[in-house]
Amino acid sequence: MISDETIRNLIAQAITARENSYSPYSHYQVGAALLAEDGQIILGCNIENAAYTPTNCAERTAFFKAVSEGIRSFLAIAVVGSPAGEEITQFAYPCGVCRQVMMEFCDPAEFLIIVAKSQAEYVCLTLEQFLPNGFGPDNLGPSDRQEE
């Protein structure tokens, strides 16, 4: 279980991460702060591309940064999003692809997704609540999961 203080800190860091959003096409800026089991916080923003499809969401940026640094155990992620130049007045729920990436590395019953408008106003649900009956590594069986 993570404390309210930890949640508020994650949201503040997601708001900071959003400042680096590279989103010249959608002008929609997203920031994420991913809390690893060891206490590290990895930030991510959305990174768009002129060819559109290579665009990476903020959540996946944070996950891929972490995994590429050898971090694979996670507790929670905070996400904030809104159009450039606007106050954050909406909940930017993670897209389906990001939910599936979370499913790869997180226990769906335990991993928390915090979607925030501010440090005071947020929704906090488990990955399982966002992605019920998700397909994940367990479906393939323990012997098939590549651990190295």
Residues making contact with ligand THU (CB under 6 A): 23, 26, 28, 30, 46, 48, 55, 57-59, 94-95, 98
Is 86 an active-site residue? no
CA 144 to CA 52: how far, in whole Å? 34
User: Within 10 Å of residue 106's Cβ, how many Cβ atoms?
Assistant: 24
In this complex, which beta carbon is closest to ligand THU, that of residue 6 or of residue 46? 46
Distance of CA 101 to CAs 3, 5, 25, 67, Å?
Answer: 25, 26, 24, 11
In this complex, which beta carbon is closest to ligand THU, that of residue 30 or of residue 75? 30
How large is the C-alpha radius of gyration of the chain? 15
Min CB(135)–ligand THU separation in Å: 19
In this complex, which beta carbon is closest to ligand THU, that of residue 26 or of residue 119? 26
Of 19, 37, 59, 87, which one is the catalytic site residue? 59
Within 27-135, strands assigned E span 28-36, 41-45, 74-83, 112-116, 122-126
Min CB(31)–ligand THU separation in Å: 8
Min CB(64)–ligand THU separation in Å: 13
